[in-house]
Structures are given as structure tokens and as C-alpha cells.
Amino acid sequence: METAFTDCLHMQTVKQDTAALWLSGLCIVHCIAAPVVFLLAGTGLLTTAFTSEWVHVLLFVPMLVLIGSTVFKSAKRYQYRTPLKLAAIGMLILLASLSVHGPIESVMGILGGSLVFIAHWKNRRFLKAQFHDSALS
């Protein structure tokens, strides 16, 4: 009975990691596209909406929640801390990027988002391997 429950938890976390990969990817695209939109659109409404602080909060909060529900749980349960370390560094860089402006903000956003993306990818890969191993036992 516990194996079925554990397998269900594995699959749920894998699905959450997949969602987190998409969200991290969206963050990276935002950081790459923001300067391009700014250059092409000038200072219009699109630029204002795309570079507004609420967009950062809209991306940051769900990323933090997904890290807690996937990477942190995996680190606690399996003692596999590499994704947690990557995600923590990435989120700190993303948080720091909110205090700077210009090209450095985009560079920090891309770096932080990439680290979070890699953290979720490594966690997902680890959990799928764990699930595969437990399914074979």
C-alpha cells in the first residue's frame, strides 16, 4: 500500500517539476524578450506592461511555491540536495535582479532563471529514476 502511495507522490512531484520547468522557461524568455520589446516598441504600453514589477511578482511567487513543493520535498525525503542548492542560488539571483536595472537585470534574470530551470530538470530526472527503480522492485 505504501508503495502505491509513494509512486503517486513521485508522479505528482514529477508533474509539478514539469510545470516548474515551463514557468522557469517563461521567466528566461521574459528576461531575454524584455530588452528586445523595449528596443522595438519604444516606451509604449506593451513595454510598460512587459517590464512592470507585477510581472516579476507574477513569475517569482509561483516559482517559489513550486520549489517548495518539489525540490525542497525531494531534498528532505531523499537527501538529494543538488537541485535545492541550484534553486536557492537561482532564486537569490532573481531576487537580487529586482534591485538593479538595465542590461545587468536581464543577465541576472537569465542566469537565475536558468539555474532554477536546471534545478527542476535535475530533480525531475532524479525522481523519474527513483520511480523507475521502485517500479522494478
Phi, psi of 108 (to 5 degrees): -65, -40
| pLDDT tens, residue by residue, 5-31 | 455 565 677 777 777 778 787 777 777
Contact 112, 60 (CB under 8 A): no
3 state SS for 31-76: HHHHHHHHHHHCCCHHHHHHCCHHHHHHHHHHHHHHHHHHHHHHHH
| Spatial separation of the C-alpha atoms in residues 57 and 125, rounded to whole Å | 28
* pLDDT band at residue 137 under the 50/70/90 scheme: very low
Average pLDDT over residues 55-76: 84
Ranges of each domain in the chain: 2-132
Q: How many CA atoms lie within 13 A of 90 on its CB side?
A: 26
- pLDDT computed for residue 78 by the predictor: 87
Average pLDDT over residues 82-86: 95
| pLDDT tens, residue by residue, 33-60 | 766 666 666 656 565 666 667 777 777 8
Q: Of 82, 125, 79, 98, which Cα lies nearest the Cα of 27?
A: 98
56 vs 123 pLDDT, higher one: 123
Write down the pTM of the prediction: 0.74
